[in-house]
Amino acid sequence: MELHVTTPPPPEGCIETQVVGNVLLIGLNRPAKRNGWTPRMFRELGEAYTRLDDDPELRVGVLHAFGDHFTAGLDMPAVQSHLERGEKLIPEGLVEPHDFGKPGYRRRTKPVIAAVKGICFTVGIELMLGADIVVAGQDCRFSQKEVQRGLMPGGGATLRMSERAGLGNAMLYLLTGDEFDAPTAYRLNFVQKVVPNAQVLDEALAIAQRIAAQAPLAVTATRLNAIKAVEEGPAAAVAEFAAVQRKIFASEDWAEGVRSFVEKRAAVFKGR
């Protein structure tokens, strides 16, 4: 698809958003620096995720990047003093894009698809693992290289890489910082699809539009219940089945779903 950028990004980069139907495209826009992360980019990313959750017309987000690379990771000179002082790069009260329940932040309710290509290092891996589905380009290169810079990953890699790939496989890359390729990321369950580079965003958007066509209340409930099962265990997820289903049965979308089944047509959901 064609992306529309009205002006060149500022030197510190920015997050560029574009609405396509019910989908919010969220683009990392600092290609001259391989989308290296700055405080402004973190703040604007939190704002974009919050917009996705708060706008009833938006149903799915697609996180992508301008240029040849998803991200080379943190711009260390730009964020060093903030990290050393313990300052939050994303203002409290917003949706936290890594989505692992940090105190002071909201957790996202709507799905996000990540489209990654080229270099996807450190915070890039953590953001894609914080999404729900990941589409990767065939040439994508990954590295969780914080240990090579004297850091511990602080955006969720230590838990999510272990959760997806098993502890040994996670340790192999967490403790060495070694690079791995897209087929390896697919094998380790870090990404769900590997496609030619030119198709990464189109494929991610196609998945997002497919999800956006479903009943929004049911999509949100399904997403949150699956996450609860992973984070709190099957019993916690099962315990909320009845209450969640009662809310769904009282919705207009449930009635529309039944009508569309009887009338043998595609449902048109309103999200209420």
Among 44, 96, 126, 203, the active-site one is 126
126 is catalytic: yes
2 is catalytic: no
Q: What angle do CA 44, 45, 51 make, to 5 degrees?
A: 90
What residue type is 53 in one-letter code? D
Among 16, 146, 240, 263, the active-site one is 146
Residues that are catalytic = 126, 146
